[in-house]
Structure 1
Amino acid sequence: MTTLRLLVDMNLSPRWVAALNDAGIAATHWSDVGARNAPDRQIMAYAAEHDLVVLTHDLDFSAILAATQGTKPSVVQIRAEDVSPAVIGTQVVSGLRQMSAELLGGALLTIDTNRTRLRLLPLQTQ
């Protein structure tokens, strides 16, 4: 069985790695594997190549998925003012656990303070 592994984007604190690992979810911060100023497309390509799910606060990743009709990598975007693991970490971990099968298959998961929304990949225009 494949397990969920995350790549934490540069726009999120490296503290996310510890918070996710503590919750039993393998995670690596982009700064540990790539250039800090790498374009989003490079991060997406790395994640797809290594079968990782991107965790981000950046809406550009969902735009790339929509523009390319991409099926991988899955993206989890946090939509909140305070994106620290201390504030929204419990919701993120819960969403990852509940939607892990979909994320392994290709999905865009949006988590905000009020709800969680899942869209399967490739994204269809609505």
Structure 2
Amino acid sequence: MNFLVDENLSPRVAELLAKAGHDAVHVRDLKATSAPDSTIMALAAADARVIISADTDFGALLAYARAKEPSVVLVREIVELRPPDMANVILGHLDVLEPHLRAGAIATFTATGIRVRALPLR
């Protein structure tokens, strides 16, 4: 899968996802540090990337626009994990999440599991 890791997460997460065989970049790699969320969404959509972020604003922006892309993986509740552990959690669930993310979804990691909502949000 193609990922865009938001600036509120370590660039190491992108490195680890790339090492696992995915096309993963950090916003820093795209010179988009401090860019508005709408710009991050446009960059992700243009390259068919899934945003990985701890920022819940992406869900609000997607709902407001009734957008079908980009997909977002929210890691707010597991943000305290070290980058290798976070990458492992994401990678460990991709077999289940990938079809949803390819179709357009927001996947939220919680302390007790994962919640997936299809896009567009209603």
Same fold per superposition (TM over 0.5): yes
Question: 1:79-115: per-residue Cα shift (whole Å, max 9, x none)?
Answer: 2250432333322112223211110111100012320
2:71 matched to which residue of 1? 74
1:20 matched to which residue of 2? 17
The answer (yes or no) to whether the contact 1:88–1:113 under 8 Å persists in 2 is no
1:58 matched to which residue of 2? 55
1:92 aligns with 2:90: yes
1:116 matched to which residue of 2? 114
Relative to its length, the structure with more helix (as a share) is 2
Work out the CA distance in 2 between the residues paired with 1:5 and 1:97: 14
TM-score (structure 2 length as normaliser): 0.90
Secondary structure of 1:99's aligned partner: helix
Query: CA distance change for structure 1 residues 97 and 86 in 2, over 3 Å: closer, same or farther?
Result: same
Gaps of 5+ in 2: none
2:37 matched to which residue of 1? 40
TM-score (structure 1 length as normaliser): 0.88
Percentage identity across paired residues of the two chains? 37
Work out the CA distance in 2 between the residues paired with 1:15 and 1:52: 17
* Number of residues of Structure 1 aligned to a counterpart in Structure 2: 121
